[in-house]
Structure 1
């Protein structure tokens, strides 16, 4: 397929819409409820199992490496213990079943069966198939899974691949910028669109001491000031990181072309907006979405 040059940020805007739709599963009780039936009652264990299951029964080192921004001790608390309770293949199946329940609840049958949803699935799958596996473990692992038959699940599946393709690409950009996973989180939290520190620490396992150490490293590089705010150099670095991620993540959206990417962005954006209106996301996340 011939690749075409895209206007700036077209791919990023498309991926943001896709990621919003994909992320509904992370704020849903469906997968934790399923896994509770297997004796897994910690929400973080459910998250780690659900997102890493496509890698196989991976150990904590592999999951820490692939996820990048999680404290290894948090990962090792749950991985590989979860695989003694449930197989990774079962978790893959339960995650898809959970996505189905979540989307049906927050979108409704009319949206799921609409021709636009099937069109978006076709576009997203075309984009996902154009991704590059090399150096992208999470994208590649999910790309090995079969494509669901129902359009709304095929769309969610493709959104998952595209989310992980950008995530794997972003890790490459972070490493090139010599930012550890925690340093990246701290600098992002201090940015305009960043998650609040309290949420990041609770979800990633970092301590106050860890966080303070990362701030010291960023200050030593001139990226953060004494009040925990990004300097102009820090702001520029975050912008450069996103631009480099755009470059590394461009192939899926170049495969669609500007018109196809815009069409996919519009349809998925409306679906994500409907999900948000029906309570799919917590209020603090909606506030971050509103800044974009």
Structure 2
């Protein structure tokens, strides 16, 4: 699966992911009164949509049991409205990227160039049917280049994620089944996914039983040949749905952006903040 979209994803995803894993980002959420990791996660990710309730956020996020988001929304908006949450989100990312990259890199012409290229790609992304991507794309460009770069990677990440959800829905793959496929493929840790997405032991076992009955996983909860075909089909379709921004940017500019992002993503990965395996399913981080 050596598509351009997949290659770029492995470069921009770690940059985006500081908002989930960096202690500075978590501290920024705590500073505005978010109670615990999950309230902060849900509020910071949902804030571009406005003060939505848990049903809308659950639909947009796709991968969570409704009870996970019901514990955070709408009470998060009583703590801080979406505008304040968005400001805190950028504050946390600012502190995180400065800690990871250092002041010289943050102020470098390479980051400025990467921001311009990533912003062009994110602006070109077609957001029809892609709610989280559209909400992030509509946000104003931050003045600081490293924050503009992060916001662009966030739009691109949600663009890819929205497309992935469309692929899953079109194939009748439920949120729980999508996680079980990732685990069976060796891309994610089962305990982290089950607990984080708040699926009960009973639901997790029932989901595995359904996949076994369908011939997708074997008795060891690993992918069968049919399961591997399904998994690879989903990933290939996700890549195909994410290609448009890179076609718009053009091959030379896309290759240059990948070159610029690689050391920036690698610096994030070297901190160890992104677990391996990880909930986002990236294997072989740069």
Query: TM-score, normalization: structure 2?
Result: 0.94
Q: Residues 49-60 of structure 1 correspond to what in structure 2 (within 5 A)?
A: 49-60=43-54
Aligned to 1:145: 139
1:260 aligns with 2:253: yes
1:79 aligns with 2:70: no
Cα distance in 1 for residues equivalent to 2:231 and 2:170: 13
Shift of 1:155: 0.6
Aligned to 1:3: none
Moved more, 194-203 or 256-265: 256-265
Q: Is the 8 A contact 1:54 1:141 kept in 2?
A: yes
Tell me the secondary structure at the aligned position of residue 281 of structure 1. coil
Aligned to 2:191: 198
Cα distance in 1 for residues equivalent to 2:176 and 2:126: 26
2:172 aligned to 172, 178, 197, which one? Answer: 178
Cα distance in 2 for residues equivalent to 1:283 and 1:169: 24
1:219 aligns with 2:200: no
Q: Please, which runs of 5 or more residues in structure 1 have no aligned partner?
A: 1-6
Q: Residues 58-137 of structure 1 correspond to what in structure 2 (within 5 A)?
A: 58-137=52-131
Structure 2 CA distance for partners of 1:111 and 1:280, relative to 1, 3 Å: farther
Cα distance in 2 for residues equivalent to 1:267 and 1:158: 14
Structure 2 CA distance for partners of 1:109 and 1:279, relative to 1, 3 Å: farther
Structure ranking higher on relative contact order (CA contacts 8 Å, 6+ apart): 1
Shift of 1:241: 0.6
Q: Please, which runs of 5 or more residues in structure 2 have no aligned partner?
A: none
Aligned to 1:232: 225
Tell me the secondary structure at the aligned position of residue 179 of structure 1. coil
Cα distance in 2 for residues equivalent to 1:222 and 1:124: 41
Shift of 1:275: 2.3
Shift of 1:279: 4.3
RMSD: 1.9
Aligned to 2:242: 249
Structure 2 CA distance for partners of 1:282 and 1:8, relative to 1, 3 Å: closer
Tell me the secondary structure at the aligned position of residue 132 of structure 1. coil
Deviations 1:183-215 (A, max 9, x none): 0011111103x1110111121111111111111
Q: Is the 8 A contact 1:53 1:91 kept in 2?
A: yes
Q: Residues 14-25 of structure 1 correspond to what in structure 2 (within 5 A)?
A: 14-25=8-19
